[in-house]
Amino acid sequence: MIILDTDFLVDLLLGEPNAVAKAEELDKRGGFVTTSMNVDELYHVVNFAFRGSDSKPIRENLIRKAQTLFNNLPILSLEVGLAPDDVETRNIFLWEKRGNSSDTFIAMIAMRLKAETIVTNTDSFNILVSYLKIENY
């Protein structure tokens, strides 16, 4: 299983050439998903980055693209990655490994589902989950 991280999804929506090329490669491989945390982060980024009234058409276009993308992409819910003992695990990630809260939950989902790979351009997952393969684009 391959998890698509927020930075990749945002770059894909913006048409960044490396992200588009990576998406084409992933289409051939299959087995990719994202998480509800990534969906939330993506909408936050789009709404924050294009918040001015002059950016409204761009924002609305990106939201439409995101809705189309998410209609065709399996989205793992946060609950899939949580169990009663996960509060302690989350605290270990946050304090001992210095992860951020969103990436911590995504990493927990990845661990719970035994995902092999995450497509991202950040290094926080290297810190959080040592067995998770990072694919940059």
Q: Quick one: pLDDT band at residue 111, thresholds 50, 70, 90?
A: confident
What pLDDT is stored for residue 31 in this prediction? 87
- When pLDDT is averaged across residues 120-135 and rounded to a whole number, the result is 71
pTM of this structure = 0.75
Kindly list the distances between the CA atom of residue 65 and the CA atoms of 7, 60, 130, 132, in Å, as whole numbers in the listed order: 15, 9, 33, 29
At 122 the pLDDT is 76
Closest C-alpha to 105, from 89, 127, 84, 123: 89
Cα(7)–Cα(88) distance, rounded to whole angstroms?
27
**pLDDT over 70 (residue 127):** no
Which of 91-95, 102-106, 110-114 is predicted least confidently? 91-95
Mean pLDDT value across residues 62-82 = 84
Mean pLDDT along residues 58-62: 91
Averaged pLDDT, 59-79 = 89
Neighbours of 131 (CB within 10 A): 9
* CATH number of the domain that residue 72 is part of: 3.40.50.1010
User: How high is the mean pLDDT of the chain?
Assistant: 82
Query: Averaged over 35-53, what is the pLDDT?
Result: 89
Residue 43 has pLDDT above 70, yes or no: yes
Higher-pLDDT residue of 97, 71: 71
Domain span at residue 110 reads 2-135
Domain count, the chain: 1
- Output the 3-class SS for 102-120: HHHHHHHHHHHHCCCEEEC
State the pLDDT at residue 21: 96
Q: How far apart are CA 48 and CA 71, in angstroms?
A: 22
Q: How far apart are CA 81 and CA 104, in angstroms?
A: 10
Residue with tokens 């609305």: 60
